[in-house]
Structures are given as structure tokens and as C-alpha cells.
Amino acid sequence: MKKYLPLILFFCFVKLAIHLAGNSRYGFHRDELLHLSAGFHPAWGYMEFPPFIAFVARLSVWIFDVSLWGMRLFPTLAGLAILILCCAMAIEMGAKKMGVMLAGVSVLAFLPFYRNHLLFQPVAFDQLCWTLGFFLLLKYINTRKPAYLLWMGFAAGLGLMNKYTFLVWGLGLASGLLFYERGRLFRDKWLYLAAGIVLLMTLPNLYWNIQHHFPILQHMKRLAELQSEKQAYWEFAAGQLKLPFTLAISLLGLYALFFDRLSRKYLPFGVAVTVIFILMWMLQSKSYYFFAAYPVLFAAGAVKTERLLVRRLKWNYAVAAILVIPVAPFVPDAIPVLPVETYLRYTDKTPRQLTSDYADMFGWEEQVKLVDSLYRALPQNERDRCVIWAENYGEAGAILILGRKYGLPEPVCRHGSFWLWGPGEKDGDVAISIGNEKEVVDYLYEDARLITMITHPYAIEEENNIPVYICRKPRIRFRDLWPKLEERVFE
């Protein structure tokens, strides 16, 4: 590893430089606002996700306060760790200099990783836990040291405390281990000790879910309904075909894991990845869920390529060029390295054609400024009783996170985890409603005056033409309404 450290650090520098150019641009994504909001409400669980992302959010705010750059540093560091682990796995599988180079280049050339390692979401940490788990199993296979199994259990525990879909990784891994020395590990106490570590780490979240009637099941049901409407079965597989050159090296890696004589002992990884792919396809998962499996395939593919070109070493540079050059012009599509106006000219797009992730970074600051101006304009006696009532978690997260610098009170919102945090202490005699439609506002208030419709040239369609009301004379109090909303938190 030390021998190739300068090369690996060079790749890390390239990836970090790209992220430094893009991490501070545009603004907070709606999901980032939710995850930061969770950090202000520490718990062992949330309606949409386990607690790890909230812990990292709290750490980010403690170190950097509310900082776009500081918050996004954490997924970027996870991305750098994935790059390092991919190269380390290649070395463990027998790579020399060219194999390490191709492993690092494969990670750099895989465009989705830039978006995944930009946004403050569980995705980057999920990919890191998958990659770390595979690396630790690889170390165990090569050394037979039980400590690596225990550390793998720790990585799996972190993975489950970050994203429930990590269970699919566990099922894939268990399937793969059946092919390791005829399932010998299932007769080894160290594997069960590793499983015990996973159980101990996840018990607090399990207890929280029992207390709250397993809201994740409601969330998954709603996601399944939405995805079945929008995504056909073939789309999961099609999502893997968008980058043909990195796909080629990953398929070569999968072939090597199954059929290469020198990689025979690594068959469990090939089986695990195949089972994971089949499970995700059957579950109609989003295509990016499977991206966490690519680092181990890149490592195996890099080793196999190096062996195929052992007598033509310089051809490895040609392979690296084929991986990188075709995707380089599309880096601005993956991470906002360009100002938005420049990006639109570069891609010949209109503001309405911004990708949903980019569009979801605009409009929040303007919403908060408007709400603040209305809040400050209220008489003091009304301001003391005023509730800020948001329709969805993006609007609520913007009020909670961006509204801190204006001194705005925490919002009331029935969407997702915001429902958990309740209707607050105020009666809601006066409310500033943002995003709620007229029929909803009229259901709760006798007097609802439309102030404006918020628009933004770059914002996502969902956050354009959203109504803002000032409401008085409540028909029903939020605290009386709140228990009835539990079944509608994901609508």
C-alpha cells in the first residue's frame, strides 16, 4: 500500500479539487435541509431514515455552524475514502501500479459518484459502508485474521444505522459466503460475534421503531407506490448502462470474480454482487442504489485488465484515457462546478430543463426572506402567537435551517419527520402558511388572506407558484389535528 500511496493521493487530490470547485455552489438541496433539521432533533430514529445522518448533521453544525461547504465536506470525505478503499482492494487482489491506477481512474470516471459525494444524504455513507465491508471481508480472506470479521460487523452496523437498504448488502454477502470454502464461515464463531456487533449497534433504532410503529414500513410503501408509477422494471438495469466504459471494466471484474483462476477465492464477492443486483431489480430499486457495489467491481476489473495487458503495460494508459476522456465534458452535469448561468449556456438548456437535483437547490433562501418579512410586519402581540406552517419538508427545513439567522421560530409541518417534532407550543391563532393550498388553509382557518405566489426561475416545478397566506381565526387547533395526521405524513 505504501508503495502506491503517492498515486492514490494524486487521485484523491483530483477528486477533492473537483468537489472544492462545486460543493459551495447554488444552495442547500431540500434533502440536505431535512437531514440538517434532524440534527437539531437528536433521536434514535426518524420517519424516513436511521439516525446516522442526523448525528453527522449535528457534528457538522457543531464544527462549521450552518455551512453549505462544511456540511458537504462530510460526503466528500466519504467519497475520498471510497476511492482509497477501491485502490486498496485492487492491491489486495494482486494489483501492481497499473492496476491501482485503473482502479483509481475508474472511480474518478464514474460520474454519478460526484453527485453522490456532493449532497449531504445517506447515499455517500451507504456507499462507504458497502465498500468498507467488502474491503474487510477481503482482508479476512487474505489473512484469516478474525479481527477483520469483527470490524466488518462494525461497518455493517454503521451501514444499517445509516440506511435500511443496507440489509440487501447483508443478504448478498450471506449468499456469497456460502461459496467461501463451502460455507465454512457459517460454522465459525467469529462470524456470529460480528453479527452480534451488528445487533447491538442497531438495537436502539429497533426499539425506537417499535415505539413508533415502524414508520419506515409506511415510508417504503409510499416510495414503492411512487416508484411503481414512475419506473418500469427495465429502468433499474438501464440505469447501469449510462456509462458504458466504467460498466465494461466492472463487468470484466465480475467475470474475473467468477471465472479467473487467480481470483477464485474471491468468488463470494461475485456471488454477493449478483444477488444484490437481482434483489434490487426485483424490488424495483432506484438505479443509484446499486452504485455502492461498483468499487469492488472496479478493483477486480482493474486487476484483470492489468493481467491481460501484462506484456503491453503502456496500453493501460490507453484504457485509462478511454475511461476518463469521454466523461470529462459531462462533469458539470454531475456536480455544479459552473455558475448556473454558465452551466445553462454550456449545456444549451433553459432554466426549466435543470436536473431535479440542481433545481432543488434554488428558491429556499427567497422563501425564507419572504416569510421573515411577513413575520416582522406582524404586530408584536400577533408575532408572539404566530405559527409558521409549511406544506412539505423542504419548505419546513428551509425555515428551520436558513431561518435561524433571521430568528424565525421552528416551523410546523405534517410531512415526514417534521410530524414527529409536533405542532409546537403556540395555539396558532395566527399562521403564515407557505405551500399549503387554499382548500387546506380554509379547512383550518376562517380568515386566510393570500399574500403572494412564490416563483423562482431555477427552482423545481413543485416549488414554483406556491401560495403564501396569512391566516387568522382558527377553526381547529394544530395540537388537536396532529394525531389525525400520522397516517398522512408521507402524502
pLDDT tens digits, one per residue of 190-214: 999 999 999 999 999 999 999 998 8
Per-residue pLDDT tens for 43-86? 999 999 999 999 999 999 999 999 999 999 999 999 999 999 99
**Of residues 182 and 169, which shows the higher confidence score?**
169
The strand pair at 466-474 and 430-434 is best described as antiparallel
Residue 307 predicted with pLDDT over 80: yes
Residue 228 predicted with pLDDT over 60: no
Instruction: Give the per-residue pLDDT at 284.
Output: 83
Cα separation, 144 vs 127, in Å, equals: 25
Which cell numbers in the block locate residue 165? 437498504
Integer-rounded Cα radius of gyration of the chain: 25
Instruction: Give the per-residue pLDDT at 313.
Output: 86
Output phi, psi for 327, to 5 deg: -95, -20
Query: Residue 242 burial (CB < 10 Å; 0-12/13-18/19+)?
Result: exposed
Per-residue pLDDT tens for 313-336? 899 999 999 999 999 999 999 999
Q: Are 370 and 38 in contact (CB under 8 A)?
A: no
Per-residue pLDDT tens for 415-468? 999 999 999 888 889 999 999 999 999 999 999 999 999 999 999 988 999 999
The arithmetic mean of pLDDT across residues 268-277, rounded, is: 97
Output phi, psi for 58, to 5 deg: -65, -40
* H/E run at residue 158: helix 146-162
The CB density around residue 150, as the number of other CB atoms within 10 Å, is 18
Per-residue pLDDT tens for 120-156? 999 999 999 999 999 999 999 999 999 999 999 999 9
Residue 87 predicted with pLDDT over 70: yes
Residue 231 predicted with pLDDT over 70: no
Residue 392: which of 487, 490, 474, 483 has the closest Cα?
A: 490
Q: Are 10 and 4 in contact (CB under 8 A)?
A: no
Cα separation, 372 vs 292, in Å, equals: 41
Exposure b/e, 120-147, CB count within 10 A at least 16 = b? bbbbbbbbbbbbbbbbbbbbbbeeeeee
Which cell numbers in the block locate residue 139? 482482508
Instruction: Give the per-residue pLDDT at 257.
Output: 96
Residue 402 predicted with pLDDT over 80: yes
The CB density around residue 438, as the number of other CB atoms within 10 Å, is 12
The size of the chain, in residues, is 491
Which range has the worst mean pLDDT, 58-72, 243-257, 342-356? 342-356
Looking at every residue in the chain, the average pLDDT score rounds to: 93
**Full DSSP string of 409-450:** PPPB--STHHHHT-S-SS--SEEEEES--HHHHHHHEEEEEE
Exposure b/e, 317-338, CB count within 10 A at least 16 = b? eebbeebbeebeeebbbbbbbb
Rounded to the nearest 10 degrees, the angle between the axes of helix 244-259 and helix 97-109 is 130
The arithmetic mean of pLDDT across residues 239-264, rounded, is: 92
Would you call 467 helix, strand, or coil by DSSP? strand
Query: Residue 103 burial (CB < 10 Å; 0-12/13-18/19+)?
Result: buried
- The amino acid at residue 479 is R
Cα separation, 137 vs 189, in Å, equals: 15
